[in-house]
Structure 1
């Protein structure tokens, strides 16, 4: 018979209730247990071949400080576009920084994106920027990058793998523009095995377990009705390393490693060295403080 602890029973029943498949996050939310408790239970259930645990890597995207600012105020190229419409479709390049509240560095980047998105053309001879003919009558629709900015501002984070192709490309674009940050995250999914299904169909009850036998339980004799958690007294304890390397010795060892990595060769010398080889051969001045009796142990 397979013995299960309280947390293991809870985890198993929640996975069964969620059609035999559930992520660790779902189990945490449903059970109210801590992350560590659920992971510990899941690993034990996997060892007992009651569940399979699969690791799934995800890339999480979120806006940085500048990205949040652009999500609130729109991308700089969109703001310049709005200015062009107000100015009749054409404006002097020198007037753009005055009309749009963005830095001069951001203006040059925004102008590049205006041309790249085929929203405007720049006339270097005249020093002007003008809307392309097709946009004179109507504004361009929001692109994938702008929609993604709005989505991230609303949801705070998104899983890149769950996005469609266009938004995924938009993430790469916004990341190059240093508006979005991404990080890898591992999620775990639990799935009941045949053995697990067989066990839950027999019927499982979640009984509260007590890990500490208190005086109160003994006096009231409730210990007779309480389920005490079993402990494996044969299990090995954590490794203990009482001896520690002295901090100064650690520094010496690190300095040694650095010199060796730089290409120096380590040689062995006598325990007692002559002052000539220790000081003069190294071109150390006669009045150097290291030659004093406080820093050097002299043998007569």
Structure 2
């Protein structure tokens, strides 16, 4: 069944005024007696119905900056400089008279061929009136539209724009004309006052029975109304937190500023390890006292303690261990927690921000979120670690998980979990392992500790289909509106 054509009062008014030739929106507004904005809206609605055509015309408009106005009145620097030349003139004299403007003036003198410089002197060659000077004077009295300019004048204005003397903007004008169908339709239009909304007074007086009611097109698409919702990255962090809690873990938090002792030394990371260098770590000009029992960590570094380890040798620096850093991982929080809870069972996790001196690009930022998990209990082994990680990744929606041998200074054995992503293959998503005895023994921990760390932002990129990590932190309102309420 053919749908009946429905026109609003403004569409009817505009259509009755349209002809086969284009008319400007301002002309139509004056003729119809409604605002130009209402005319333009009605014109586009008529265009969707095939009754009108809307043409948009963009025009470049050039005008002077404040500096350009000054030069239009006083003359360009090169013109002022040329007026000083009554013959070959030394560069020192010109610089003395023109000051900071001398460099600009001399550069343009040479570029325009008005003078040459030889043996420390400026030799005039003749300075005709330039096209740029003529345009500056013209713009001083009025703006110039692109339609009025020759190609040569446009090129000159581009040069003046690069010099910061001219600015350009684009002005848009709209024109509308009726189609053949629109002209035919306009002949049968009658303008009558319609009721757009029923009020109690219209109903009580029955006046609505004597006037036509405005028709509404129930098939027309309504304008999307974006809803308020949480940031997709925040939703993902909350989802990870709920998974860990559902698996029986306790959430822990800690300070952003940590001592090097907890961030590096307690993890049996040697004090000459490359990760401690300034290019990886944000160091602060402050310190904190070493905790009681730090001597056991010192002994482990220097001699390997009494567990048969060789340690790292050398002299362990207490001053270096006291120095504050912005935490480079959340393992410092987990280790402090374990040092205060040395009796099993312990299941804890931390989701928080960490800091490293990284160059910002599509896959790196100097601050990012990390998920850290630790489990300490009697008789734990690598198969238990695989079970925890496989369960976590499955709940995150990754169906295929595998583990590849790896090396980390504070775990042995160590693995890197990988998940399979369609179109990308196997993607590494963190590091995991069992804490070495060099880490646990000095802290009084006598049972195995499973530990893993996960870069949350990398998971977010995969789940949200992003190619640039920075998009997670930018206020891109269109992307935020387009993301579904429930993550992918």
- TM-score for both structures, normalised by structure 1: 0.64
Secondary structure at the aligned position of 2:176 is classed as strand
Report the CA distance shift for 1:116/1:22 in structure 2 as closer, same or farther (over 3 A). same
Instruction: Indicate yes or no: 2:154 matched with 1:168.
Output: yes
* CA offset digits 1:78-135 (Å, max 9, x no partner): 3334x33xx64664433335545xx62x4322223233334x3234225234352xx6
Matches of residues 1-300 of structure 1 in structure 2 within 5 Å?
3-16=6-19, 20-24=21-25, 26-28=27-29, 33-34=34-35, 36-81=37-82, 83-84=83-84, 88=86, 91-100=89-98, 104=100, 106-118=101-113, 120-125=114-119, 127-130=121-124, 132=126, 140-141=128-129, 143-156=130-143, 158-184=144-170, 187-200=173-186, 202=187, 206-207=191-192, 209-215=194-200, 223=208, 228-239=213-224, 244-246=229-231, 249=234, 285=266, 290-291=333-334, 292-293=336-337, 298-299=346-347
Contact 2:6 2:216 in 1 (8 A): no
> RMSD value over aligned CA atoms?
4.3
Contact 1:89 1:131 in 2 (8 A): no
Number of matched residues?
Answer: 259
Report the CA distance shift for 1:192/1:215 in structure 2 as closer, same or farther (over 3 A). same
Report the CA distance shift for 1:71/1:204 in structure 2 as closer, same or farther (over 3 A). farther
Secondary structure at the aligned position of 1:111 is classed as helix
Between the aligned partners of 2:265 and 2:195, the Cα distance in structure 1 is 72
Between the aligned partners of 2:265 and 2:34, the Cα distance in structure 1 is 67
Between the aligned partners of 2:32 and 2:81, the Cα distance in structure 1 is 52
Between the aligned partners of 1:90 and 1:32, the Cα distance in structure 2 is 69
Following TM superposition, by how much is the alpha carbon of 1:7 offset from its aligned partner in structure 2, in angstroms? 1.9
Between the aligned partners of 1:8 and 1:222, the Cα distance in structure 2 is 25
Contact 1:77 1:114 in 2 (8 A): yes
Q: Which has the higher strand share?
A: 2
Which structure 1 segments of 5+ residues have no match?
254-269, 273-281
Higher relative contact order (CA 8 A, sep 6+): 1
Between the aligned partners of 1:220 and 1:166, the Cα distance in structure 2 is 71
Between the aligned partners of 1:88 and 1:207, the Cα distance in structure 2 is 81
- TM-score for both structures, normalised by structure 2: 0.43
